[in-house]
Every structure is written in C-alpha cells, then in structure tokens.
Structure 1
Amino acid sequence: MSTLLVVNSSPFNETSVSRHLSEEFVQNWKQANPNGRVITRDLTSSDLKTVDAAWVGAAYTPKDARTAEQKQALEVSDTLLGELRAADEYVFGVPMHNFGIPSLLKLWIDQIARVGETFSYSEAGPKGLLQGKKATFLIASGGAYDAGTVMASFNHVEPYLRSVFGFIGVTDTKFLSAGGASAVMSGQVDRATFLKPHVEAIRSQFVAA
C-alpha cells in the first residue's frame, strides 16, 4: 500500500493557491492509488519550535543514552521523522515568502534534518538516508520567478528545497510553479482562470503515469 505525506505551510486557507494545488494533487493521487494512505501535516497547527541548544544536544546523544528531558526535546522531531519514513511520496504546498520558503517550513526542515536519521557522515562524505522516496513541490508566488523571467535570480525556493532534499536522499523531485498569484489577490485575474493551467499540469502527471 502506497502512502502519501502532504505538507502545507500557507497561513491562508480557502484563498491559498498552494493549498488548492496540494488538494488537487491529493485528489488525483487517491484516484491513482485507491488503496493508498494519506498523511496530512499542516504546519500552521503543528506548534513547531526553533532548534535550541537542548535540542541539538539531544540529537547528537546516542538514543540509549538520552535522558527523559532529551527524549522530550526530540518528541516532535521523532513524530515528523516517522511520517517521512512511513510515506513513499511527498507533496508540499509552498508559498513563496520574501523570495524564500515560509518560516514554518524552515522550522519543519530543521526538525527533520538530523544526523543518523535523515543523513549520515562518512569518509566518503555526507549520505542521504531517505532513499527511494519522491517529492513534488507546488510553489505559489505573487510574482513570476521562473527561469528566463526578469526576477528569476530572486527565486531561492526551488534551489534551496532541491539542495536540502537532495542532501537527505530525496533526489526524485518535481517542481510546479504558479507564479503571478498577486493578480488573483488583487482581482485583476479570475481565480479559476489562473488556477486552470496549474491544475491541468498536476492532472497530466497522473495521466502520464
């Protein structure tokens, strides 16, 4: 049975473009995997904390030597890691914030990027431990930042996510960008008209599959 992990980080609900696209992805994934399981992680309601010294100390302490306090410090991280391991595939709804990823998604990444859990070091260098997974990133931005646009160099979302997930072993990745969403928010473009090509791009992935 295939399992999909859905991670959303937009502070908006009904008006969120990235959430709309992730929901579309889930619907199509369910049709393609009728016996599959979906794990949903909404970062806006996950109460994620910043990584502090106690967390780092606990993460670098061998499991069998951790104190009760250290185990508690890693409790949320362990839960998030369990979701990552349980899933075969990931889909992320990612709004661009100030040319980068949302702060909540960065907090999530800091919680799951753990030595011995999602990556390891050896004489040959770092090795990602999440092998055989694939991820789709659905990125919504107010402006247009795709390759070839005037603002392309300001897009730090895709390069960062590609680097981080590649580091932990997830190299089978797809990025779908919905740029220009500010026109929808300002009423210059009809929402359904704006979403149509991006929804079709998602559906086409499953038709091709």
Structure 2
Amino acid sequence: MRRFSLKTAVVCLALIGGLFAEDALAASKAKHPPAKVATQRVSMLGGKLVFALPKDYVKSPMPEIDDKARAAGVTGSLYLNKPAHRVVIVTETPLPSGAKVSANDKKTLDTIIADALAQQKSSYQNFKKHGEKKLVRKGLGLRQLDVSGDVDGGRVISTTITAASGTRTAMVNVISLEKDAKDHGVLVKAVTGAK
C-alpha cells in the first residue's frame, strides 16, 4: 500500500520542479521575519500522531486514493506550500493481513522504513541516503529516513517519518528544495516532536 505515497511524491516533486524557475525571483526578494503563523492540526493513527502545519500549506486530496483504495482503508492528503516550494504528504494504510501491532513494534517499523528506502532509491536520480533515526513520541515508535536526490533538474531533500499502531500504519513525507534544509528540519521536528 505504500505505493500511494510514492506515486504522490513523484507528482509533487514534478510540481516542485516546475517551481524552480520561480525560485530565482523569490531569492531576490528580501526575507522578513515571519509573524506568528496560524496552524492547522493533522491527526493520524487515531490521535496517536498529531502535529501542526502552518495554514499556508494548502490541503488537497491525493488522486491515487480512489474509491477502491478508500474502501480498503487507505486515507491521505497532500499539503502544498507553493511559496516555500515544500510538500507534505500524509497517508494511512491498514497493515497487511489485518495484523495488529503495539505502538512501538520494531519489526513492523523496520519493514516499513526499508520499503520506503527501496522505493525512494528508484524514484530519485543521484539518490543519497543521509541517515535513519529511531524515535519515540509519547509512546509511539517512529522511524525517520532522510534522503536527497535530483528531480526535474533540481536537488531536493526528503524526510519520511513512519509509525504503526493497532491495525494501521502512518507515513509522513516532507519534501523541500535542498537549499531550504534549515526550514525543512524545523518542520520535520514539528512532526516528530524532536527537540
């Protein structure tokens, strides 16, 4: 079921790639300190994984999640911040064969992140893995995978955060231009709850 995230990531990367031309204009404008930003709440795994995104991330449905996928229990949305050239993709899928796991099942989490790594290796040109982390947020085990690669002539960084609890898995993909690594990291910390 993880292929839904991969397909959407490829579409979104193409979207970001199309924005590279605008990047030169945006870079020439002076940056001002942002005012306090209104946020929107994203809740996954029945409220076990909750984080806030700034309101300027526009929520859209994922075309790959059709009626058949929804009937099978797949849910997801993408959040696009066009000015920041950043995409956040959130998906939830049922575990295979109706399996049920604890909120920090090592084997399940390791399998999910290994699948994500294999998919991303085949999706990016000049792929580079930067690292993996094992985290626990309020009792919920998380895996974090950080990679970079080229798409449509531009370099991007991508962080995949996975979790599983009960009969479902959750995946959050944060994709940014490589030059925006600092802001990318701030958003990733908001999702993982890392300090």
Pair in the same fold by TM > 0.5: no
Q: What TM-score, normalized by structure 1, do the two folds share?
A: 0.29
Compare CA radii of gyration and give the structure with the larger one.
1
**Would you tell me which structure has more helix in proportion to its own residues?**
1
